[in-house]
Structure 1
Amino acid sequence: MGGVERYLNFENKNMKTAIITGASTGIGKAVAYKLSENGYRVLLVARSHKKLDQIMKDIEAKGGKAEYYTVDLSDEFNIKGFISEVTENCKADNYSGIDAILNIAGIWHSDEEVFAGKDFEKFDEKVITDTYSVGFTAPSLIIHGLLPYMNEGSHIINLSGTFENGGKGWIPYYASKKALEDLTYGLADELNDKKIHVNGVSPSDTATEEYKKWFPEYAEDAVSPDKIAETFLDILNSDKTGTVQVVKKYDYNKSDTKFLKNGY
């Protein structure tokens, strides 16, 4: 159980600030690049120091502003350490408040296997608890801890999934995302008077690096991470709240699952 590592740069304090979990790969990385290109200072959150450092350098080479925190979102100690770090920087006026919290991180595979295609009783207990921690507990705690520092008109966006084929075969991931959707709807109602917008993005199969590794035969027909990043930006530029926006590559009837392997 390690502590939080960080790389911070407090120049241009008045830029809009967005926290992005799962920022080292896939959708999170695409969202980080998209927001940095559109004037946001991005606070990148993930486990991999090496990947985050490279993304930060890429963003800054293009004139953007990025910082990163290496955080294990399955570890409550790490989560609380991250919240404490951001809180202290807000109190010190290093950030002019938080303008967006984007909860993108999730667990559906390891380096060795994909956590799908098995009965619930056959999942390792640690996979279940880690999946729930990263997919639901971490977003809940981050929002809870940082709400006092969110600016009026700010946004919370949670990544869910369409699951056109249902949750069978990967119940832990499915359950974590459905719980996150319920949190989205509840918070949207509760925070409406505070003018904090809460929405979700629910993509179908997405052609991330990991998806291409595990499901190469379906990658051509999956949604691009860039399309999902555009959806995040569109929501940030709107006043909508209480929605979960579905993103698919194809329009088809629900019964037509030709282009779907997993639907997340």
Structure 2
Amino acid sequence: MHTAFLRRTLWVLPAASLSCPAIAQGDGASPTRYHVNSRTATYEVLESPSEGGGKCLYRDQTQLLCPGTAFIAFEKHYRTKDYDLILISMGETGSGTRWWDWKVIVDDGKQATVKPFADECLECDIQVENLDFRSNKAVFTYRQKKQEVIVSFHAGKLTERKKSLNSREPLDQETCNGLFGNYEECTATRQNAANCTMARANAGHFFLMRTEDRYAGISYKGLQLLCKNACSTGKAMKRETFLKKVCRR
């Protein structure tokens, strides 16, 4: 698909704060995280009118969804010939909360329906693998619980299938570098067993959880055992060995 064609069919909303799912910057219109326009309607996230609080989603000032969660946010906006597809996330905020529910608004220009997309997804990284503007088709993928989830859209309908991940799949370079950096620090904590962990601070904890979630054959417990080994001996694997044994590269 040509670059110019993609630019007029795909919008990705601006990046958000760390307390909610992060979003990438893209070409085209840049609506705010709580306001987006489809071809025929305006969507907004507003405070719930009920005493319980939380957020609600409105389409042209008519309530479309009100789950009572601490946030609802527009994440990504795709357009095909006859449809606007708007991905939204929702859930609670806070540094210890990284599992959010995702849904997709399917707007055909006359009406909109909100369809389930990903439930309790850990720092979900949803990608569009194929977008066919003229045929009203789109294919999305994300990883969850050591599976690849493929969600296909065609003419108003969603279908989902799951595929087990390959336990020999190499870890991506960024994840591998992050793990090795944390692992190297294990030898420095030899005198303090309480600090012998690859999950230092909250960010490190969720980094290991995310790696375990997105790759087969990787476990949080296994990574921690590697660290404790290095702590007790004061010796760490060389980078080349770590890449082969842990990162499968």
Q: Which structure: greater helix fraction?
A: 1
Same fold (TM over 0.5): no
TM-score norm. by structure 2 comes to 0.32
Q: Which structure: greater strand fraction?
A: 2
Larger relative contact order, structure 1 or 2 (CA cutoff 8 Å, min sep 6):
1
TM-score norm. by structure 1 comes to 0.31
